[in-house]
Structure 1
Amino acid sequence: MLQAIMTQPGTIEFREVPIPEVKSNQIKIKIKRIGVCGSDVHVNHGKHPYTSYPVVQGHEISAEVVEIGSDVKHVAIGDKVTIQPQVVCGKCYPCTHGMYNDCEELKVMGFQTTGMASEYFVVDANKAIALPEGMSWEQGAFIEPLAVAVHAVRRAGDIKGKRVLVLGGGPIGNLVSQTAKAMGAEAVLISELSPYRLEVARRCGIKTVDAQNEDLLEAIYQHFGADKADYIFECIGINPTMKQAIDYARKGSTIVVVGVFADLGAINMGFVQDHELSLVGSAMYREEDYIKAIELVKEQRIEVDLLVTHRVKFGDYAEAYKIIDEQKDKAMKVIIEMEE
């Protein structure tokens, strides 16, 4: 089978490699679509702190099951699936208490272990999540990032009837905004610099504030009133927006940190203490988040198609990163299309 290998930052080579044999508890899947995410871009730039080279990327996928092991009962040949990419120890405190996304020895396919950027992939059957027959392959590749958003919203707590501010209008910020709205938030406001991403957010039914030309604090009062936001989601991973989240929170607000920070955070802990703010981290997802994400797409409560800005063939994998680097904020989600 053909496999895309990033041999060093910015360099992808294609190699013919044997397809692993399917063990009794495993399945073989034919990859259909692969989404490129921000963490993949960090790897391409050589700036991901926990990834070494060579590495096979690919963790946002949809696929068809083409072979099953003798002990596999819940997955059948021909099923549409996506895959949970976490590889966990199963023994540490988080794993034994239902929090395997926080495994002490966590590895993620495409970063610390082999990802799915290949024509076929063999994986433990318990990693597979069934997709509805009517869901497109492209929508199926969105379930992983949408599960990130679902998990983040659940980390906030009961969001029904609450006012939500999202900082960052990239794919994750957009999906967090849509998920909060779909799960019952009274009002959702997204703050973003890019005119293009603001327009996409509006087309997805989310109210926006142009952070480049509007005063964010004034916009918060305008949309939420004097009580400001109940929940603030930081979805970029940079100090300026983390500072905004803390400075503009009302006393007693909850701030959910979704963005991945490359630099050490420099935040006003005085405000956190004096204002009784709750700082909550959100890391990846669990199976129940996948199930909810699938439900939201199936019920058409989340718009994912508008987030796809570019599509490239598997053989042009490197072109995806070129598009992202050159188009920047106008490249919301780039999808790798496999040969049918």
Structure 2
Amino acid sequence: MRQAVMTEPGKILFREVDVPEVGEGQIKIKIKNIGVCGSDIHVYHGQHPYTSYPVVQGHEISAEVIEVGKGVEGIEPGDRVTIQPQVVCGKCFPCQNGMYHVCEELKVMGFQTTGMASDYFVVDADKATILPESLSYEEGAMVEPLAVAVHAVRRVPSVEGLNVLVIGGGPIGNLVAQTAKAFGAANIVVSELSETRLKMAEQCGLDTINSKREDLVEGIGRHFGERKADVIFECVGSSFTVAQSIEVARKGSTVVIVGVVPDLTKVNMGFVQDHELTVLGSAMYQAVDFDRAVDLINAGKVDLKSLITNRVRFEDYAEAYSIIDNEKDRVMKVLIEME
């Protein structure tokens, strides 16, 4: 079978390897689509602190089950699935207390262990989420980023009836905003610099602030009035926007850091204390987030198809990275097509 290997930053080679055998409790899947995300780009540029080379990427996928191992129940050949890509120890404090997604020994397929950029892949059956027939394989490959958004919104006890500000209109920010809307938020606004991403948010039924043209504080007042934002989701992952999230927060509000921040950030902790802010981190997801993501798609409460801006053949894998590098703000989600 074909397998794409990143041998060093910026270099992807294809090799023929044996199709893996199914073990007890495992399933063999035929990969249909692979999504490319920001963390993949960091690996491509040699900027991911926890990934070494060579590495097989691919953690946002959709697939068809073609074989099940002994002891597997509830999954049959022909089922359509996506995969939760975490590999955890099951023994540490987080794993033993319902927080396996932040396992002390966490590995993620495509980063610290082999990803799914190949024709076939064998994985533990308990990592599979079955996709209903109503979902396309392309939508199935986007369940993983939607699960990131679902987990982020679920970090807040409830957003129902609240004013929600999302800073950053990229794929994750857009999905966080759509999820907050699906979960009952009263008003949702996306702050973004890119005209393309602003139009995409509006196409998905979201209000926007063009923070290149309008001061963010003024935009918040225009949309939310004196109450301002009850919850702010930071979905950029920069020192500037993290600090900005704190600075524009209303007294008693909640800030959720969703973006992956690569460097140390100076935060006005006196402001956090004086305004009695709740500041939360959000990392990855759990199986329940995958289930909720599938439910949202199946109910038509999120628009994924509009976010797919580019498709690339598996043989042209490296082109996906070039598209994202060269077109930046004009690109939302790039999918790799296996067939």
Q: What TM-score does the superposition give when structure 2 sets the normalisation length? A: 0.99
Please list every run of at least 4 consecutive aligned residues from structure 1 whose deviation after the TM superposition is greater than 2 angstroms: none
Instruction: Give the structure 2 partner of residue 203 of structure 1.
Output: 203
CA distance in structure 1 between the partners assigned to 2:330 and 2:51 by the alignment: 26
* 1:259 CA displacement: 0.1
| Amino acid in structure 1 at the alignment position of 2:93 | Y
CA distance in structure 1 between the partners assigned to 2:239 and 2:157 by the alignment: 24
The alignment partner of 1:293 has SS state of helix
| Amino acid in structure 2 at the alignment position of 1:147 | A
Which shows bigger deviation, 143-152 or 15-24?
A: 15-24
CA distance in structure 2 between the partners assigned to 1:19 and 1:66 by the alignment: 12
- Say whether residues 1:114 and 2:109 are aligned partners: no
In the TM superposition, what whole-angstrom CA distance separates every residue of 1:305-338 from its partner, at most 9, and x where no partner exists? 0001100000000000011111111111000001
The alignment partner of 2:218 has SS state of helix
* 1:175 CA displacement: 0.1
After superposition, where does 1:133-148 map in structure 2 within 5 Å?
Answer: 133-148=133-148
CA distance in structure 1 between the partners assigned to 2:266 and 2:10 by the alignment: 30
| Amino acid in structure 2 at the alignment position of 1:15 | R
Instruction: Give the structure 1 partner of residue 304 of structure 2.
Output: 304
CA distance in structure 2 between the partners assigned to 1:264 and 1:243 by the alignment: 11
CA distance in structure 1 between the partners assigned to 2:189 and 2:202 by the alignment: 10
**Residue correspondences, number:** 339
Instruction: Give the structure 2 partner of residue 163 of structure 1.
Output: 163
Instruction: Give the structure 2 partner of residue 281 of structure 1.
Output: 281
Whether the 8 Å CA contact 2:20–2:120 is kept in 1: the answer is: no
Instruction: Give the structure 1 partner of residue 93 of structure 2.
Output: 93
* 1:34 CA displacement: 0.3
Instruction: Give the structure 2 partner of residue 11 of structure 1.
Output: 11
CA distance in structure 1 between the partners assigned to 2:330 and 2:147 by the alignment: 23
Instruction: Give the structure 2 partner of residue 177 of structure 1.
Output: 177
CA distance in structure 1 between the partners assigned to 2:23 and 2:215 by the alignment: 58
CA distance in structure 2 between the partners assigned to 1:303 and 1:20 by the alignment: 35
The alignment partner of 2:19 has SS state of coil
The alignment partner of 2:226 has SS state of coil
* 1:96 CA displacement: 1.1
| Amino acid in structure 2 at the alignment position of 1:37 | C
The alignment partner of 1:15 has SS state of strand
| Amino acid in structure 2 at the alignment position of 1:76 | E
In the TM superposition, what whole-angstrom CA distance separates every residue of 1:273-331 from its partner, at most 9, and x where no partner exists? 11111110000000110000000000110000000110000000000001111111111
* 1:43 CA displacement: 0.4
| Amino acid in structure 2 at the alignment position of 1:237 | G
Instruction: Give the structure 2 partner of residue 222 of structure 1.
Output: 222
CA distance in structure 1 between the partners assigned to 2:267 and 2:48 by the alignment: 23
After superposition, where does 1:223-262 map in structure 2 within 5 Å?
Answer: 223-262=223-262
Q: Percent identity?
A: 64
Instruction: Give the structure 2 partner of residue 49 of structure 1.
Output: 49
CA distance in structure 1 between the partners assigned to 2:148 and 2:334 by the alignment: 17
In the TM superposition, what whole-angstrom CA distance separates every residue of 1:176-205 from its partner, at most 9, and x where no partner exists? 000000100000000000000000000000
The alignment partner of 1:246 has SS state of helix
In the TM superposition, what whole-angstrom CA distance separates every residue of 1:92-149 from its partner, at most 9, and x where no partner exists? 1111111110101000000000000000000011111100012100000010000000
In the TM superposition, what whole-angstrom CA distance separates every residue of 1:246-294 from its partner, at most 9, and x where no partner exists? 1110111100000001111111111111111111000000011000000
The alignment partner of 1:209 has SS state of strand
Which structure 1 segments of 5+ residues have no match?
none
Instruction: Give the structure 2 partner of residue 292 of structure 1.
Output: 292
